[in-house]
Structure 1
């Protein structure tokens, strides 16, 4: 006499029967377990070329990482990207940059180049001084007073200045007062001369270095407010 094997209930159906009514458990088991679709996709690439494909994909990924790599600040300093080479430390090389800066600062100041005032001071505080003609008029270090030249690097805490003697000087901003001069043409209504002649004047302004110890890119978007300085 043979006995038929008893049909065993699946674990999923047993668990569902504990949590739901029989009809609801049967519906969930049918829809979510028995009739659940299984999506298949062909192997890509074929098994015979899988190793070559993985190697090419790895090489492409490494190439992409190298192309997107950005040097850190430490790496840039180690490679000397911030340093001016010895053969480039010549005053004559930066004179065209100084002429460009004069046009740039006149455009920023507009009519205030003749009148000055708080509006001009705010614009000067946010300006870029690369290429500016500068002179140190006051400093906590007496030996720095009198340094005059063109600003070749406007960093956060210091100016690098190239003098007419082709000497590169590093002048900290803290405790130092810098003087800048901007030649301007006086409007005709303020003087009486022949039309063929032009009268030029010079706008002179002094900047306390410790008041704008920011990078030039940060100063452009920063709002400066007038405040009392104990050192004035």
Structure 2
């Protein structure tokens, strides 16, 4: 809009209708102040003259802002706190092979359902892909090859799986910690024997379930 039009005097025909004079006088200022008083919501801290003198006036309706509540999420224990509280340690009175046999039975049923029955006609490649992402807590695993000869032949029920180690309990009620790296493990389910390479299992169980595995060469043992 042209500035000259904004600053033009009010036409004589509208002077009597609007009740103002063509020149800025005290009467026009009084009309403007009265209009703003009626049109603006006044608050105890609102100084009308100061507001008109120092900043622009917005006549649009605005909703009061809601106060944001500080929602703090509950923080879990870090690794140092878990070790201090011995969260992952199995108490000596619980280190008995027979206590974990029900867990093994549940795991067998879980694997059979996961692999669609494990029938003689099942595709071994499909079964292997299923096992790569399966949870092995409760499985009976045997170390068949390892760069450390003392681990070979160790058999037990897997009670805890970490990123780099398997923790198993043997029939002699002893806890054994077997590193995954440079070891090959055998698992038997309903006559189907599967070998898993520990190097490919160096992930937490929760991470392995969502990981995409690539076909790579086997380790030299």
Could you state the TM-score of these two structures normalised by the residue count of structure 1? 0.63
Q: Which residue of 1 aligns with 2:93?
A: 87
Alpha-carbon distance change, 163 to 37 in structure 1, aligned in 2, over 3 angstroms: same
Q: CA deviation at 1:214?
A: 0.9
Q: CA deviation at 1:79?
A: 0.2
Select 2:103's aligned residue among 97, 103, 106: 97
Aligned-residue CA RMSD (Å): 3.1
Q: Which residue of 1 aligns with 2:52?
A: none
Alpha-carbon distance change, 130 to 180 in structure 1, aligned in 2, over 3 angstroms: same
Aligned partners of 1:140 and 1:21: how far apart in 2? 94
Aligned partners of 1:149 and 1:72: how far apart in 2? 30
Q: Which residue of 1 aligns with 2:21?
A: none
Greater C-alpha Rg: 2
Could you state the TM-score of these two structures normalised by the residue count of structure 2? 0.66
Aligned partners of 1:222 and 1:167: how far apart in 2? 32
Corresponding residue SS for 1:84? coil
Q: Which residue of 1 aligns with 2:217?
A: 228
1:128 aligns with 2:117: no
Q: Which has the higher contact order (CA 8 A, sep 6+)?
A: 1
Structure 1 unaligned regions, length at least 5: 1-19, 42-60, 184-201
Alpha-carbon distance change, 129 to 21 in structure 1, aligned in 2, over 3 angstroms: farther
Question: Deviation digits for residues 185-209 of structure 1, max 9, x if unmatched?
Answer: xxxxxxxxxxxxxxxxx11111111
1:75 aligns with 2:81: yes
Q: CA deviation at 1:76?
A: 1.4
Q: Which runs of 4+ in 1 moved over 4 A?
A: 20-23, 29-36
Moved more, 221-230 or 104-113: 221-230
Corresponding residue SS for 2:159? strand
